[in-house]
């Protein structure tokens, strides 16, 4: 990443840190206390060597506190006690800074996680059509911690920087010749950085991408574990995961080698600089220009100067990985949702249910158009069946009503209002959706039914279940409405899950209902129970029902026949059968198949 790119990324982090500015200010104040205490920490050793063990007089500022002829044992106790007090002060203040740091970092991470999660929920379905879910999960669970790791690295460097400046100033005051010798090594800490930096950027990006792909494989396999087991493909999936994991591990090893190599170079420069200062200091002691205690103070300061320099230079290599994670977060946040509230969007009250599509066309990114100039009108309370071959655009068409997608051309209206000019939340409150593959969440039966209306009374939940022909099987469950359904409702049959979806739609009581192949995977008995519930659900509601099994379209007011993204036929069952077109052919094929 270029210096300009890093500066831009740092500037984007400021809004997430700004709400915690009071804690940051307190942290900085305590940092200055630590730096000041660290400046004093070598002096007890100097006093011990020069004035307790040796016979050098105390520095001028201390002579007024301790007379030259006083007992050295008392001076020894005072020096040792002073050193311990300094260490205790530094330890206590460090505990305070650690508490502030942890509390602040966790809040920043949680804020960023919530922002990212909220942004992902607002994304249109087209966002997920071209991305792997496992990689997105990795960004939410793993990459978001990049800001915590970055802060954990940068905040201690504030202490290191303050200490560095203070101690180098004191070193110049004590012995400017040794300070210049120590300064000679400083540029060598940063000369290798540019060479390593370019390579670190490439390796870090590769590691993040490959580890995200590994997470995608895990998510994909676990979500389809029944299929994997039924085809006995465990070994194949393990080999696929191992191959991907080896690529990620190789990239991680290369990155670690480069980070460690740079850290080793910094350590060698530290050792070389310390050796030069030690040699020059010993020479000055031989020439009686420096006392042993003063040399020990200079060496202690030198370690405190080189330590922060080594920490800063080593941390610079690791911040590449942390910033790469943060950059992956902003890659998601920078994608604006396709369906969003326009300025001045109005709130839709309870709709009557008139739905109109005017010249609607739609295409998924990078693919041919799915819908071509589709026009239809559904009156309040009307029930419309939508049929057609696979890939004709049936599900896509009804997905435009709640704005899961926006059309490329044309418009969709509910009660005469363009859905793009209505607030999304109020629009989607008008629509109940029952899918072919019923979606249940981890939790109880009660929580799944009242998902669309969490404040619903228990009596309302039970009534919705009765209307959906679900109450009887719920009553037989070990804990009834408080029974856990498992991940995606794995403890229930397909028909039971579908009836819970119908109950959820009953409780929501939306004026528009979309049924997308609700009974396609059910046996005859389950289908009969479901269709009874559907008949009650669609009463006095505008309903769109997509069906491959044309027998489920009994009682619809009108049937639309889609083929290659166009409405090619429209009418009642009897009218369409008389025309002998596509619908008639599909119906006869199903009847013939049922007979054979």
Decide: 298 and 306 in contact? Cβ < 8 Å.
Answer: no
Pairing state between β 542-546 and 566-571? unpaired
Give the HSE-up count for residue 35: Cα atoms under 13 Å, Cβ half-sphere: 23
Query: What's the average pLDDT block by block, 10 residues per block, for the chain (596 residues)?
Result: 67 84 86 77 70 66 59 73 83 87 86 88 81 80 81 69 69 70 67 62 70 75 68 78 80 74 73 75 75 69 63 63 81 85 88 92 87 92 89 89 91 92 90 83 86 87 86 86 81 82 87 80 65 78 85 82 90 86 83 70
Looking at the structure, do residues 280 and 144 belong to the same domain, yes or no? yes
Decide: 418 and 411 in contact? Cβ < 8 Å.
Answer: yes
Looking at the structure, do residues 195 and 319 belong to the same domain, yes or no? yes
Looking at the structure, do residues 246 and 384 belong to the same domain, yes or no? no
Residue 381, domain CATH: 3.40.50.300
Reading the block at residue 441, the tokens are 């969440």
Q: Which of 347, 516, 514 is nearest to 427 (CA)?
A: 347
What are the tens digits of pLDDT across the range 244-290? 778 877 777 777 777 677 777 777 777 777 777 777 777 777 777 76
Decide: 340 and 121 in contact? Cβ < 8 Å.
Answer: no
Looking at the structure, do residues 97 and 239 belong to the same domain, yes or no? yes
What pLDDT sits at residue 375? 93
What pLDDT sits at residue 225? 66
Residue 278 makes CB contacts below 8 A (sequence gap 6+) with 299
What pLDDT sits at residue 14? 83
Rounded-to-integer distance, Cα 386 and Cα 515, Å: 10
Q: What is the mean pLDDT of the chain?
A: 79
Domain with 464, as residue range(s), is 355-595
Instruction: Report the number of secondary-structure helices (H) and strands (E) in the chain.
Output: 23, 10
Within a domain: residue 35? yes
Looking at the structure, do residues 209 and 295 belong to the same domain, yes or no? yes
| pTM, 2 dp | 0.70
Within a domain: residue 45? yes
Helices 72-122 and 133-141, interaxial angle, to 10°?
150
Pairing state between β 512-516 and 431-434? parallel
Looking at the structure, do residues 309 and 369 belong to the same domain, yes or no? no
Looking at the structure, do residues 361 and 457 belong to the same domain, yes or no? yes
Residue 217, domain CATH: 1.20.1560.10
Looking at the structure, do residues 185 and 100 belong to the same domain, yes or no? yes
For the chain, how many structural domains are there in total? 2
Q: DSSP assignment, residue 365? A: T
Give the phi and the psi of residue 566 in degrees, each rounded to 5.
-130, 150
């Amino acid at each position: 990443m270029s210096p300009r790119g890093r500066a831009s990324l740092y500037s984007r982090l400021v809004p997430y840190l700004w709400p915690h500015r009071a804690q940051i200010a307190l942290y900085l104040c305590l940092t200055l206390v630590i730096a000041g205490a660290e400046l004093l920490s070598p002096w007890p050793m100097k006093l011990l060597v020069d004035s307790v063990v040796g016979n050098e007089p105390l520095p001028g500022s201390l002579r007024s506190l301790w007379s030259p002829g006083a007992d050295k044992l008392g001076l020894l106790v005072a020096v040792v006690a002073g050193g311990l007090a300094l260490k205790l002060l530094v330890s206590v203040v460090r505990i305070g800074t650690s508490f502030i740091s942890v509390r602040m970092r966790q809040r920043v991470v949680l804020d960023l996680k919530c922002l990212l999660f909220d942004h992902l929920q607002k994304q249109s379905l087209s966002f997920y059509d071209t991305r792997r879910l496992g990689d997105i999960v990795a960004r939410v669970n793993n990459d978001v911690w990049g800001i915590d790791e970055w802060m954990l690295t940068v905040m201690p460097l504030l202490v290191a920087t303050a200490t560095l400046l203070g101690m180098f100033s004191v070193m110049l005051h004590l012995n400017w010749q040794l300070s210049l010798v120590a300064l000679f090594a400083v540029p060598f800490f940063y000369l290798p950085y540019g060479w390593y930096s370019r390579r670190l950027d490439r390796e870090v990006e590769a590691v993040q991408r490959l580890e995200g792909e590994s997470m995608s494989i895990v998510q994909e396999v676990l979500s389809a574990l029944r299929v994997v087991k039924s085809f006995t493909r465990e070994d194949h999936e393990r080999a696929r995961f191992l191959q991907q994991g080896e690529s990620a591990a190789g990239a991680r090893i290369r990155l670690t080698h480069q980070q460690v190599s740079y850290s080793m170079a910094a350590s060698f420069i530290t050792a070389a600089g310390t050796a030069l200062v030690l040699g020059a200091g010993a020479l000055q002691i031989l020439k009686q220009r420096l006392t042993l205690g003063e040399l020990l103070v200079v060496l202690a300061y030198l370690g405190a100067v080189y330590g922060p320099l080594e920490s800063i230079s080593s941390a610079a290599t690791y911040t590449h990985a942390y910033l790469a994670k943060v950059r992956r977060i902003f890659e998601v946040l920078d994608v604006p949702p396709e369906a969003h509230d326009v300025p001045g969007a109005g709130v839709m009250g309870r709709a009557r249910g008139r739905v109109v599509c005017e010249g609607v066309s739609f295409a998924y990114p990078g693919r041919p158009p799915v819908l071509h100039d589709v026009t239809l009108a559904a009156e309040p309370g009307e029930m419309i069946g939508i049929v057609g071959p696979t890939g004709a655009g049936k599900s896509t068409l009804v997905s435009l009503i709640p704005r899961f997608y926006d059309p490329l051309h044309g418009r969709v209206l509910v009660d005469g209002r363009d859905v793009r000019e209505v607030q999304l939340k109020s629009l989607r409150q008008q629509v109940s959706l029952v899918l072919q593959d019923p979606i249940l969440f981890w939790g109880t039966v009660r929580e799944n039914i009242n998902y669309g209306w969490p404040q619903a009374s228990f009596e309302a939940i039970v009534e919705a279940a009765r209307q959906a022909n679900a109450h009887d099987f719920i009553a037989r469950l070990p804990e009834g409405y408080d029974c856990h359904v498992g991940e995606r409702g794995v403890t229930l049959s397909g028909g039971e899950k579908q009836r819970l979806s119908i109950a959820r739609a009953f409780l929501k009581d939306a004026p528009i209902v979309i049924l997308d192949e609700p009974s396609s995977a059910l046996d005859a008995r389950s289908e009969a129970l479901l269709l009874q519930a559907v008949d009650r659900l669609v009463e006095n509601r505008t309903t769109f029902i997509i069906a491959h099994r044309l027998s489920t379209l009994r009682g619809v007011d009108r049937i639309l026949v889609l083929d290659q993204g166009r409405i090619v036929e429209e009418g009642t069952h009897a009218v369409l059968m008389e025309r002998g077109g596509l619908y008639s052919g599909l119906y006869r094929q199903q009847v013939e198949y049922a007979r054979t």
